[in-house]
Amino acid sequence: MKKLLVVFIIFLLSVQNAYCDKPVVIGGSEYPISTFTQDGKISGLDFDIVEAILKEAGITNTRRLIMPWKRIVYMLDTKKVDMVVPMVFTEERKKKYNLAPSIRTRSNVVMVRKDFKRPISKIADLKGLWVGKCSGYAYQEEFMTAATMGLFKPSSCVDNKMGLKKLKLGRSDAFMIGEGAALFLVDQLKYKGLLAFTDYRAEKASHVGIHKTNVKLYNQFMKGFEQARKKGIIKDIIARWMKAYDIS
C-alpha cells in the first residue's frame, strides 16, 4: 500500500513539474520599440516589462512570439498564447480579456517633413491635409472621429514603415505614429534630418491582455505587477530603453 502511495505521489509531482515547465507564451506583433524583431532576435520594451512582472510572480519560464496583430489575437482567443502586449483598451476587448493595469504610457505624435511650415499642436490643425494612418491601428478617439468626419484626407498605409516612406516622398503631408516606433524607424530608414515631430502629442495606456478564462494567470500577473511597481522595476526598464533610443 505504501509503495502504491509513493508511486502515486511521484506521479502527481511529475505532472505538476511538467505543467510548471510549460512556458508562458507572450505574444505581440511587429511594433518597435514595444515588440519587434531585430537581427533575428525578438526584442522589445514591453516584452522586458512583462517578463520582469512574471518573474516577480515566480514565473521564469516564458517564450516570446511575434505574429501579425490579427493572428496573435486569434491565438490568444484559441489559447495558443497566454497573453498579448501591448493592448489598448476598448469596450469590445474588455468583454473578452482581463486587461491588466497599464504597464506604461505611450505617446502618439504627428510627424511632418522638415520643410513643412504649418504648425500642428492639435487635431484641428490637420484640417485639409493628407494625413497617413495605418490599417487596424488603435488611434485615439478624437483622431478617428476627425478622419470619419472628413476633417483631413486619410492616406492609408499597411504599416508605419510605409507611412514614413510616403511622408518622406511627399505623398502625404503628415503622419500619425507612436513616438517609439517613429524614432526607431527614422533611424533604421536613415531619415534623420528629413522628418520632424510637431507639437502634437496624445498619450495612451499600454495594457497586457489575458483571456478571461485564464483567471489563475491573471491573478499571478497582478501579484507580480504590484511587486514590480513597488520595487521600481518597471520604471527602471523604461528608463533604460528610453536612454538607449534617446526618447525624451
CB 133, CB 157: distance < 8 Å? yes
Confirm whether 2-103+206-244 and 105-204 share one CATH topology: yes
Q: What is the mean pLDDT of each run of 10 residues along the chain (248 residues)?
A: 48 43 93 91 97 97 96 97 93 92 93 96 97 85 93 94 96 94 90 94 93 96 97 96 74
Q: How far is CA 128 from the centre of its chain?
A: 30
**pLDDT number for residue 155:** 95
> What number of other Cβ atoms are within 10 A of residue 159's Cβ?
18
> What number of other Cβ atoms are within 10 A of residue 244's Cβ?
10
**pLDDT number for residue 2:** 52
Fold classification of 105-204 (topology level)? D-Maltodextrin-Binding Protein; domain 2 (3.40.190)
CA distance 26 to 23: 9
**Any idea how long the chain is?**
248
- Residue-wise pLDDT for 71-99, tens only, equals 999 999 999 999 999 998 888 999 999 99
Please report, for the chain, the start and end positions of each structural domain, with discontinuous segments joined by +: 2-103+206-244, 105-204
As a three-state string, the secondary structure of 198-215 is EEEEEEEEEEEEEECCCH
- Its pTM stands at 0.77
CA distance 193 to 212: 46
CATH architecture of 2-103+206-244: 3-Layer(aba) Sandwich (3.40)
